[in-house]
Chain A
Amino acid sequence: MTERPTFTLKGDTGDWEIVLGLEVHAQVSSNAKLFSGASTKFGAEPNQNVSLVDAAMPGMLPVINEFCVEQAVRTGLGLNAQINKVSRFDRKNYFYPDLPQGYQISQFEHPIVGEGVIEVDVEPAHGDPAYAFPVRIERLHLEQDAGKSIHDMDPGATYVDLNRSGVALMEIVSKPDIRTPLEAAAYVKKLKSIVVALGTCDGDMEKGNLRADVNVSVCKPGAYEKFREADDFGELGTRCEIKNMNSFRFIQAAIEFEARRQIEIIENGGTVDQETRLYDPDKGETRSMRSKEDAHDYRYFPDPDLLPLEIDDAFIESIRVNLPELPDQKRARFESDYGLSRYDAGVLTADAESADFYETVAKGRDPKLAANWVTQELFGYLNKAELDLSETPVSAVQLGGLIDLISGEVISGKIAKDVFQRMIDGEGDPADIVEKHGLKQVTDTGAIEAIIDEVIAANPEQAEAVKEKPKTMGWFVGQVMKASGGKANPQAVNKILREKLGL
């Protein structure tokens, strides 16, 4: 695996590095809320999914939804993290109209999931090859979502929709192990692939079901290594938290902007204020949301309406034995069983759909050839056409059929690309296309010999010259293939040419 590249930003006073830690909020795939039986169905009319508990009516009490607890444990296991058998819910107190209770029930001191680590794959970019790096997970805890304040329906009023109020979220907190905007996006992608594979969150970022807060700070080269050695945050710069981003593109753009903003402040002799900021995608900049001085004193304390959450080994084990194959396990299997490169295996296991598609194509066929056709040709086409794999015009069975034609030497790789294009155009199964257009490879040596004889006879000087420079034989191969309409078997052409030219 390739070494992790160093990422620096140039400033007036020299190079700067970025340090990033992420807090990802993943909505638990659950039909009911974390502490009430209200529905979580997306797209309901405002304030339809609201129980008496969600609206904080007097005397209403929270009751934990066991299904959500199970999903948190499941996710923790997927993050290779420690599952805490005793955890606790705390109240985070602040006033806001979309927070009916006046507090959010969260887990502050004793989260349900402790430390873990995941391997993150970064795709090739900016001339750097693909690489992987580890991110340490600090914790995962369960908490309630707030409702939604709508400020733009009426110039003089704010409307509140409590449908989201009380919906279960998993907050996954990373250690500051992420060093580039691309790595940050790759980390979120990895988390997404894990929770989607586990089925604990649908990963729908557009609906806000997976969103990230990014802590950004900058430092001079060398400082980060000192921080890691001494675990002393004093070595790092002051961080700003950019809230609530729900696209990989925004995450990267926001980090870039924020890092440069901080560098500029420091280089102009200023100091970075610790604050919470928002990214404005229209302007491409971050702006202050609230400063540290304005920060709430949340007055966390254990929620006296809830007992400590206790789970036992049997519960954890029952979840562990039912875990699906996770992206990393699948990638490792693809590497060992199919002999794929780590990168190709990673691409093919980024989501279950791709992996299943590939396995259908590769079954009983040359796995590397199958990987090439899926990642290069099919994914290449889908990317260009901006289509999802679910919208592919070429089914896995059809693509498998095409590979069979190549392996059976019915068509050459070159003709196969032509057939593939026709498959995209909707001409149907590859065998039918080959038949219909007469694309079958010519393996009849007599027929090939005849073409070769013609080509040599038409080019006597080249036939002489190639004896001096055998490497130019390729020109003859090209001429013969051209004359055969691309259908001549390339191996046969090579062999006969050699004989005829006396090489």
Chain B
Amino acid sequence: MSELTKLTLTGALEGLENGDFSAVELTQAFVDTIEASNQALNAYVVTTSDQALSMAADSDARRSAGKAGRLDGAPLGIKDLYCTKGVRTTACSNILGEFTPTYESTVTQNLWDEGAVMLGKLNMDEFAMGSSNETSRFGPPSNPWRRGSGNATLTAGGSSGGSATAVAADLCLAATASDTGGSIRQPAAFTGTVGIKPTYGRASRYGMVAFASSLDQAGPIAKTVTDAALLTEIMCSHDAKDSTSLNVETPDWLSHVDKGVKGMKIGVPKEYRVEGMPQEIEDLWQKGIEWLKAMGAEIVDVSLPHTKYALPAYYIVAPAEASSNLARYDGMRYGARVDGENLTGTYEGTRAGGFGAEVQRRLMIGTYVLSSGYYDAYYLRAQKVRTRILQDFETVYADVDALLTPTCPSAAFAYGEKTDDPVQMYLNDIFTVTANLAGLPGISVPAGVDNDGLPLGLQVIGKALDEATCFQVAGAIEEAAGFVAKPSKWW
């Protein structure tokens, strides 16, 4: 049975359509695998096995009635950031207690409308704040990958560490994730999976627990570029319930994956060659360039001069928005509450007890940068930087179709290696935050392994609303890299 869990999403959908197996059989295989593996991997923080099997049974009925949707019978994992009706949703924070929404996020609703099956809720950094998933109230997941040279437990990255772990360890066909500064792409890179953050506004934020509203964007983590394209197509939609949702058609991205890069111009930004970056990553990047050249693309050296300001700007804008977005967690209407002697005491007790250290750090930074007297120097300046970063991209996109960069400056690291120093941790996002600040689509595709056998990802950043090119370039890299490595099972 466990062979079923190794299928890709598209492969499984084919099998279902061909009648090779039923949705119930497929779902049961995942339920069994999760039961056997989750204790070691800690990918799921809620499992919904009964619901999954009943959804699967409904799916089989639909399929035999000839009414199957595009994802019918496909068991998926859902990041705990998405509100799911009747299923506990906490964004892995203590402050949400046992909060169980009475409503469904638009993105997950889109999946259920196409017949997908929910296996459970996936681990993440608390409120998506983190790059290693260590800030989760439920403890971090374990990356199924380990260094060839040792048995240290590695991070699967963050904040979508649970999603990446579940996909890499075959605990779901694919998973939803979300990306505010790299939270889809970095975990994908750390686990040998594919992750895409679409253009800001492509997918609705309705029902996604907010971190930083102007940066948050839904996207999938999947096993292949094709799977990612299919899932992204279904997750994205115009939604009147989200004012920042773009009123645009969702294109047929699936057909772009195999189109190749012949005649394309791909930019290589020199600012992404940072000091201290491991040679292996440098080499992989070069390899990517060679592959694209060999497939008929033209490589152009480009410059994005404001890149070095992106990370500081990000760590002002994101905490600022978070400090306001998270004000609603006050213990008054839902979630955990710690009663104090008076109102202020209750607020302080609730929020000090409910939020972890990293969230508290960011709320304090955010509150500080929005304070009167500091607003202009921090928040306003950061917004100006943001405009410059967008202009940088617009300038180079006059000349190139997409950009190729490494996804991260390192491979997966071991727990505890970076937690002591928040700035070291923040540097993880250095190649990914720019796409969030500029609202552009970015995809991470596994392209090779480092000397320790750990997966490394390359990132393709596209023009606004041009996910098609991202899928096209990523598809070409996937083909050229022939990345087939899987983690050897230790769990």
Contact = CB atoms under 8 A, between A and B. Distances in A.
Given A55-B333, A301-B379, A305-B213, A61 B206 contact: yes
A424 interface: no
Nearest to B245: A61
A63 B371 contact: no
A12 B328 CA distance: 52
Given A93-B327, A102-B328, A59 B105 contact: yes
Contacts of A337: none
B153 interface: no
A103 B326 CA distance: 10
A446 interface: no
A100 B333 contact: yes
Contact of B206 (A59, A91, A102, A160): A59
Chain A interface, >50% SS class: loop
Contact of A97 (B214, B321, B332, B375): B332
Interface string B322-365: 01101110101110000000010001000000000000000000
Contacts of B375: 299-301
Contacts of B330: 95, 97, 102
Interface in B197-235: 205-210, 212-214
Contacts of B242: 61, 63
Interface stretch (B96-104, B249-257, B281-289, B444-452): B96-104
Contact of B327 (A52, A55, A102, A307): A102
Nearest to A306: B243
Contacts of A160: 332
A301 B243 contact: no
Interface in A97-139: 97, 100-103
Contacts of B384: none
Contacts of A101: 327-328
A408 interface: no
B207 A59 contact: yes
A461 interface: no
Contacts of A460: none
Interface in A40-95: 52, 55-64, 91, 93, 95
B240 A63 contact: yes
Interface residues of B, number: 43
Chain B interface, >50% SS class: loop
B177 to A, nearest CB: 15
Given A59-B206, A59-B207, A301-B379, A102 B324 contact: yes
Contacts of A438: none
A59 B205 contact: yes
B389 interface: no
A306 B334 CA distance: 25
B305 to A, nearest CB: 26
A299 B105 contact: no
Contacts of A158: 343
B367 interface: yes
A217 to B, nearest CB: 22
B208 A299 contact: no
A98 B38 CA distance: 42
B244 interface: yes
B125 to A, nearest CB: 16
B103 A100 contact: no
B156 interface: no
Contacts of B486: none
A60 B324 CA distance: 14
Contacts of A91: 324
A62 B241 CA distance: 8
B91 interface: yes
Nearest to A92: B324
A307 B245 CA distance: 10
A97 B209 CA distance: 20
B89 A93 contact: no
B333 A297 contact: no
A55 B103 CA distance: 13
Contacts of B321: 304
B212 A304 contact: yes
Given A93-B327, A93-B370, A58 B243 contact: no
Contacts of B102: 52
Contacts of B205: 59, 61
A58 B324 contact: no
A299 B324 contact: yes
A28 B224 CA distance: 52
Contacts of B89: 58
A299 B376 CA distance: 11
B327 A59 contact: no
Interface in A277-309: 297, 299-301, 304-307
A103 B330 CA distance: 12
A144 to B, nearest CB: 14
Nearest to A158: B343
B172 interface: no
Contact of B328 (A56, A62, A63, A304): A56
Instruction: Determine which residue in B206, B212, B240 has the highest number of CB atoms from chain A within 10 A of its CB, and name it.
Output: B206
A193 B243 CA distance: 35
B240 A59 contact: no
Nearest to A58: B209
Contact of B370 (A62, A299, A305, A306): A299
21 contacts: A52-B103, A55-B333, A57-B334, A58-B83, A58-B101, A58-B328, A59-B82, A60-B207, A61-B241, A63-B240, A63-B241, A63-B243, A97-B343, A102-B328, A158-B343, A299-B323, A299-B367, A301-B379, A304-B212, A306-B243, A307-B243
Interface of B: 82-83, 89, 91, 96, 99, 101-103, 105, 205-210, 212-214, 240-244, 320-321, 323-324, 326-328, 330, 332-334, 343, 347, 367, 370-372, 375, 379
Given A59-B83, A63-B240, A304-B214, 17 more contacts: A58-B83, A58-B96, A59-B101, A61-B206, A63-B241, A63-B242, A93-B324, A93-B327, A102-B324, A102-B326, A158-B343, A299-B324, A299-B370, A301-B324, A301-B375, A304-B244, A305-B213
